[in-house]
Amino acid sequence: MLDFLSRVFGRDSSSSKNVAKERLRLVLVHDRANVSPELLSSLKNDLIKVISNYMEIDEKALEVSLDSSENQVALVANIPVKRMKRANKSPA
Amino acid sequence: MGEVIVITSGKGGVGKTTTTANIGTGLAATGKKVCLVDTDIGLRNLDVVLGLENRIVYDIVDVTSGVCRIRQALIKDKRFEGLHLLPAAQTKDKTAVNPEQMMVLCEELKKEFDFVIIDCPAGIEQGFKNAIAGADRAIVVTTPEVSAVRDADRIIGLLEAAELRDPKLIINRLRPKMVKHGDMMSIDDMIEILAIDLLGVVPEDDQVVVTTNKGETVVRDEKSQSGQAYRNITRRILGESVPLMNLEEPGGFINTLRRMIGLK
């Protein structure tokens, strides 16, 4: 009933217009930044290489994406760390 | 010296040709000398929308390749004194004309007409580059759909790259009822996303289909909402400040209910 009411009054955040707007926002972030999936995946591989010099990370769970908020685009990387490497091995 | 305005959208089927025909007719009805140029070579349509399809002798390719003079290729509208059409070629493709030739053509037409309105083909390839080459300003047409707004965004970027600054937006086929129910992006949603100035909003209207069937333009239909919308757009192009028309239907059960419980 509540669901029905919020639909009637157009206040439902899952209304199809909001879905459209959100999808559009996301697709435009990529369009405007001119970032291809290939570029993102090679960036991901490079990140893994660099970070692996310092810590052991969960490569499979690593996520890299472009995000937009308030007219700004941010590169968001979620990198689960398994454990730190010993400090005595200095990176190349 | 006249002004060259290109009507573009990226995506096909959003109403570029209909918009071109209505703006052209609207401007001509105010006494301006107007030339409409169809640059959709190979997919000529502006002629049928205007009801002038039976009078074509020469086309734009004949002009740019020097087969005829501009004056010979222009078709005079029967209803409006100042309205002329330079039709696209139907049997050639977009590479039959290049941007340099378009610039020369636009310069020539500007001497003769107050407004040169260019109907751009869909896409971002040569046809688009031709259409914008000689333009002084641009109007981007979109509909309230993800695909159309996405393409509009791309087009705005390309227009800026081509130094056609400050394009204006026309939102076509808006359905106020669906917007109200949260099932269609609103005017504000699209303006916010595209971040350009609004030139006008044309509501979805059966009358557009009816008039186009007859080779007429809805801008001359005094009673229709879309006609009013196009007349407002025409006045804004001429520099007048015209408020957006009210697209909402007043009253109605839901409205009354919303007001009663203070949601509006």
Disruptive mutation site among A21, A22, A30 for chain B (greatest number of B CBs within 10 Å): A21
CA distances in angstroms from A69 to A25, A76, B13, listed in the order given:
9, 12, 31
Contact by Cβ (8 Å): B114, B5: no
Contact A69/A80 with Cβ under 8 angstroms?
no
Let me know if A50 is exposed, middle or buried by CB neighbors in 10 A (0-12, 13-18, 19+): exposed
From B83, B87, B74, B108, select the one nearest B24 (Cα to Cα): B83
CA distance B257 to B255: 5
* Counted domains in chain B: 1
pLDDT at res. B141: 98
Residue B45: which domain range? 3-260
Q: How far does chain A reach from its first CA to its final CA, in angstroms?
A: 63
Measured in angstroms, the CA of B145 and the nearest CA of chain A are apart by 8
B262 vs A: CB within 8 A: no
Q: Does A28 touch chain B (CB under 8 A)?
A: yes
pLDDT at site B262: 57
Q: pLDDT tens digit string along B201-245?
A: 999 999 999 999 999 999 999 999 999 999 999 999 999 999 999
User: Under 8 Å CB-to-CB from B128, ≥6 apart: which residues?
Assistant: B8, B120, B121, B155, B158
Of the residues B142, B143, B145, B146, the best mutation for testing chain A's interface (the one with the most A CB atoms within 10 Å of its CB) is B146
What percent of chain B stands above pLDDT 90? 92
Residue from A83, A88, A86 nearest A57 by CA: A83
Whole-prediction pTM: 0.81
Rounded CA-CA distance B209/A58 in Å is 59
Nearest chain B CA: its distance from A73 CA (Å): 14
Residue B235 sits in a domain of what CATH number? 3.40.50.300
Residue of chain A minimizing CA distance to B191:
A21
Q: What contacts A21, CB < 8 A, 6 or more positions away?
A: B185, B189, B193
pLDDT digit string, tens, across residues A22-79 = 899 888 987 887 777 788 888 889 999 999 999 999 988 888 887 766 666 778 889 9
Q: Give the residue, B155 or A12, on which the prediction is more confident.
A: B155
Q: What is the ipTM of this complex?
A: 0.80
A9, A15, A25 ranked by CB distance to B183: nearest: A15
> What is the spatial distance between Cα B74 and Cα B77, in angstroms, rounded to a whole number?
10
Quote the CA–CA distance of B193 and B190 in Å, as a whole number: 5
Confidence of residue A89 (pLDDT cuts 50, 70, 90): low
How far does A52 lie from chain B, in Å, by closest CA?
A: 38
- Phi and psi dihedrals of B34, rounded to 5? -125, 135
Cβ <8 Å between A25 and B183:
no
For the CA atoms of B245, B251, B255, B259, the dihedral, rounded to the nearest 10 degrees, stands at 100
